[in-house]
Amino acid sequence: MKMDFEKYDPVSTLVVPGHSVTRARYPFIDVHNHQNNLGAGNIDQLVGEMDRLNMKVMVNLSGGTGNRLKSMAADLKSAHATQRIILFANIDFSGIGKEGWTDNAVKQLEEDVRNGANGLKIFKNLGFSVRDKDGNRVTIDDKRLAPIWDKCAELKIPVLIHTADPESFWQNADEHNERWLELQTHPNRKRSDDNPAPWEVLIAEQHRMFGNHPRTTFIAAHFGWYPNNLGKLDSLLTALPNVVVEFGAVIAELGRQPRMSKAFFAKYQDRILFGKDSWVPDEYATYFRVLETDDEYFPYHKKYHAFWRMYGMGLTDEILKKIYYRNALRIIPGIDRTLFPE
Ligand SMILES: [Zn+2]
């Protein structure tokens, strides 16, 4: 019988010890989350869902800017959730290149931080689709943005930045592509060298920007899109001491190379943060299991990210505490330390 790749889903006959981990061993801070419609009506429910996972603090990267951020912060305050959900501001890139754009953007960021933002999030539209007033693609290392990164250093807030996407999206969507299924189900994710630029070019722009602003702390989202090349990420982190990483949406890459990952986590235990990205509470179990257990050959929750199975890294308690909360407490200002064990 012939069948589709999507249909083939064999039940493993392997019998080995296994653990379902629906709650993290230590309270944790998720530094990569999006709650676009956060408001008075849904904060209590969200905090309840966080409690079930042992998530003490969620970073909502979709804080917006101006009045949107202000009203979200006010809603959190009324719900007594200011210490549980914190906000990162975003930049409105429209009109870049116009007289005074940079000064206004810097002033707006200062105001957003006064209104309660604890960091800045840059979405992948920078690099992909942001254009200046003349219609040119704005590169990640564009000089007109430099004062924003310097201001973040001055305000002592980190910049969490997502640049580009997995390199596979630039490759032919054929039988050799590991993300073939994702490109089938999400065809708009396909990229090419002129849509809008080669992967290497975007990533190099990001690294140049990191290097140009050594006093600013950058959190490279999704392991900087090198979760499948930890040797390369190792050399990057060595060269760029102001950069830390989070593993939102890439736990499947770590779970397929548990020995390499474990060595990487040991070496960079002070520079890795817990992130997840999409808010599907049930999926956190895969993250906890990869980080905490020695389990073998267990399933991932999304076939289009990974058709392979996971293995646990079995991180030590000392390293787990750093990944779950200590590193984030050091890097992100304004989080209540008393929510966490020593
Ligand atoms: Zn995200």
Q: Is residue 329 part of a domain?
A: yes
Strand order in the sheet with 55-60: 28-33, 55-60, 85-89, 117-122, 159-161, 218-220, 243-246, 272-273
Strands (E), 100-222: 117-122, 159-161, 218-220
The Å distance, Cα 20 to ligand 1 centre, comes to: 26
What distance in Å separates the CA atoms of residue 83 and residue 59, rounded to the nearest whole number?
10
The Å distance, Cα 336 to ligand 1 centre, comes to: 24
What distance in Å separates the CA atoms of residue 82 and residue 89, rounded to the nearest whole number?
15
The Å distance, Cα 121 to ligand 1 centre, comes to: 9
What distance in Å separates the CA atoms of residue 91 and residue 70, rounded to the nearest whole number?
14
Q: Is residue 123 part of a domain?
A: yes
The Å distance, Cα 224 to ligand 1 centre, comes to: 12
What distance in Å separates the CA atoms of residue 305 and residue 283, rounded to the nearest whole number?
13
Q: Are 315 and 264 in contact (CB under 8 A)?
A: no
Per-residue pLDDT of the chain (342 residues; tens, 9 = 90+): 899 888 888 999 999 999 999 999 999 999 999 999 999 999 999 999 999 999 999 999 999 999 999 999 999 999 999 999 999 999 999 999 999 999 999 999 999 999 999 999 999 999 999 999 999 999 999 999 999 999 999 999 999 999 999 999 999 999 999 999 999 999 999 999 999 999 999 999 999 999 999 999 999 999 999 999 999 999 999 999 999 999 999 999 999 999 999 999 999 999 999 999 999 999 999 999 999 999 999 999 999 999 999 999 999 999 999 999 999 999 999 999 999 998
Q: Is residue 18 part of a domain?
A: no
Q: The domain spanning residue 74 has which CATH number? A: 3.20.20.140
Q: Is residue 236 part of a domain?
A: yes
Q: Is residue 23 part of a domain?
A: no
The Å distance, Cα 34 to ligand 1 centre, comes to: 6
Q: Is residue 185 part of a domain?
A: yes
**42, two tokens:** 């849904």
- Range of 71's domain? 28-339
What distance in Å separates the CA atoms of residue 105 and residue 124, rounded to the nearest whole number?
18
Count structural domains, the chain.
Answer: 1
Q: Is residue 210 part of a domain?
A: yes
The Å distance, Cα 208 to ligand 1 centre, comes to: 22
Q: Is residue 267 part of a domain?
A: yes
The Å distance, Cα 177 to ligand 1 centre, comes to: 23
The Å distance, Cα 16 to ligand 1 centre, comes to: 34
Determine what percent of the chain falls in helix, strand and coil, rounding each to the nearest 5: 40, 10, 45
